[in-house]
Amino acid sequence: MSTQKRAYKFRCYPTDEQKQILARTFGCVRFTYNWALRLKTDAFYKEHTRLYYKDLSSMLTDLKKQDDYSWLNEVSSVPVQQALRHLDKAFITFFEGRGKYPTFKKKRKKQAATYTSSAFTFRHGALTLAKMQEPLHIVWSRPLPEGAIPSSVTVSKDAADRYFISLLIEEDIAHLMPCETAIGADLGLKSFVVLSDGETVGNPRFFQQDEKKLAKAQRRHAKKKKGSKNREKARRKVARIHARIGDRRSDFLQKLSTRLIRENQTICVESLQVKNMVKNPCLSKAISDVGWGQFVSLLEYKADWYGRNLVKIDKWYPSSKRCFDCGYTLESLTLDVRQWTCPECGVHHDRDVNAAKNVRSVGLTVLNACGESVRPGAVKTNPGKTQRSRKPRK
């Protein structure tokens, strides 16, 4: 059992008055984030100095005292202050090489505001935010842990004008019962994933299913007059189609990753560089639609929660070209070849099943070499060092 911070996300339906309060809050948060980002960028490139959170917090206090920016005092100060913390975290992520340089927030994109415990009250399932007289109407789609007290609350609105509430809670997550099952997973486009036991999970292609509908909605949106109400209606229709695609993909990945975590003690996958793979002009749309990166991220945190092992082998390991039976490696294997026969031992292979078996074999080798207590997502193999010795020619 381990104590983890877990977010519970629910759909909420604020009243018209609450929507106005949230709209002002979103605007102040967005302005503060963009204002601080501009200050930090200009200070570094023009004055060769660095501004930190305490510097920006002091400057924000002085900014609120000016008459031109007095409207910042109309909303709760907590979400505005949290915007500076989020910017500071974004820069830490950038300097650690885990993200890109922070960009300015836009009005038409997703809006969010974070409230800490001093800016909301949560009693008997009723959540009331600062500056609001009535609690939010929340659809509790699943129960919270007994006695759970949120440490922070994030209210968000997506591009389709849907409101969500996310409660961050610390809870003790019990590890699943250990088992001896280990699986290798080969991610692909024709089939989303092929497992080493022969199971094949098809690629749903959610974007492809709604691509024509989305293109039609985008054409109608482009023809509307800018600034008109009809253009805003067309924009929301495009956003709803995008939201439908994203929700279906997320639901599929969540259910599949949860099933694999529950049924297997060790899961071995390839560490794919998706940001490099999408540069292929012929496959970029299909790769973006399949969601490999999101799927592996889900496996990582769920393996950490439930005491499972996730092993990521090296991306250059020739899992498809290597014969699982004898270890012979082909010089080349094009994507159109889905089955091949080993020229050394004569075994006929399905390309994806053979790759999944090799991924499992290499992952278990690395896991045994590094010990059973391997941190999820922290293992990579070195190509060429874990191959089996070839069988002698007959």
Classified as helix, coil or strand, 149 is coil
Rounded to an integer, the average pLDDT of 352-356 is 89
| pLDDT above 70 as % of the chain | 93
Distance CA 351, CA 122 (A): 54
| Segment 223-232, tens digit of pLDDT | 999 999 999 9
Catalytic residue among 88, 289, 300, 352: 352
Mean pLDDT for the stretch of residues 142-148: 87
pLDDT at residue 391, rounded to an integer: 40
pTM, full prediction: 0.85
pLDDT tens-digit readout, 318-337: 888 888 888 888 888 888 88
Which 3 state secondary structure label does DSSP give 122?
strand
Confidence of residue 371 (pLDDT cuts 50, 70, 90): low
pLDDT score for 392: 41
Q: What is the pLDDT of residues 275-290, one digit of tens each?
A: 888 888 888 898 899 9
126-136 pLDDT per residue, tens: 999 999 999 99
- Of 265, 258, 262, the C-alpha closest to 179 is 265
- Let me know if 51 is exposed, middle or buried by CB neighbors in 10 A (0-12, 13-18, 19+): middle
**Predicted confidence (pLDDT) at residue 61 exceeds the cutoff of 70:** yes
Residue in 270, 289, 300, 314 annotated catalytic? 270
The reported pLDDT for the residue numbered 383 is: 37
Rounded to a whole number of angstroms, the CA Rg of the chain reads 25
The reply to whether 270 belongs to the active site is yes
Cα 232 from Cα 237, distance rounded (Å): 9
Q: Which residue in the list 42, 172, 186, 197 is annotated as catalytic?
A: 186
Classify residue 354 by burial, with Cβ atoms within 10 Å: 0-12, 13-18, 19+.
buried
Q: Is 114 exposed, middle or buried (0-12, 13-18, 19+ CB in 10 A)?
A: buried
Residue 69 in contact with residue 121, Cβ under 8 Å? no
- Our answer to whether residue 352 is catalytic in this structure is yes
Residues 194-223 pLDDT 10s: 998 888 999 999 999 999 999 999 999 999
Region 339-351: mean pLDDT is 85
Q: Is pLDDT larger for residue 185 or for residue 337?
A: 185
Residue 2 pLDDT > 80, yes or no?
no
Residues 230-286: pLDDT tens digits? 999 999 999 999 999 999 999 999 999 999 999 999 999 988 888 888 888 888 898
Q: Under a CB-based contact definition with an 8 Å cutoff, are residues 225 and 232 in contact?
A: no
Q: Are 26 and 112 in contact (CB under 8 A)?
A: yes
User: Is 247 a catalytic site residue?
Assistant: no
Whether the pLDDT of residue 387 is over 70: the answer is no
Q: How many percent of the chain have pLDDT more than 90?
A: 61
Beta bridge partners of 196: none
